[in-house]
Amino acid sequence: MLATFYVYCIYLMMRTPIRWLEKVMDCKTNKLDLSNIEVDEDIPVYQQCLDEDDRSWTIQEENLLR
């Protein structure tokens, strides 16, 4: 419990400088602009994307889990 207390005290003392550093670094980094990304929604489901070997392995794994 004493070690947990020390870790918590260090956290309380260091959280303000760490948050300040995060804010400073966040302002300097470029944020990603996701507005121009095109989403391809014609992707088939996972089971249809697998080849025959992977599909049989996945079915065997599901059977073993049951």
Q: Tell me the C-alpha distance between 44 and 58, whole Å.
A: 17
Type of residue found at 43: I
What is the chain's mean pLDDT, rounded?
85
Q: Are 14 and 7 in contact (CB under 8 A)?
A: no
Residue range 9-20: mean pLDDT, rounded: 89
Q: Are 47 and 55 in contact (CB under 8 A)?
A: yes
pLDDT tens-digit readout, 19-29: 888 888 776 66
C-alpha neighbours within 13 Å on the C-beta side of residue 39: 3
Q: Tell me the C-alpha distance between 63 and 45, whole Å.
A: 20
Residue range 29-44: mean pLDDT, rounded: 75
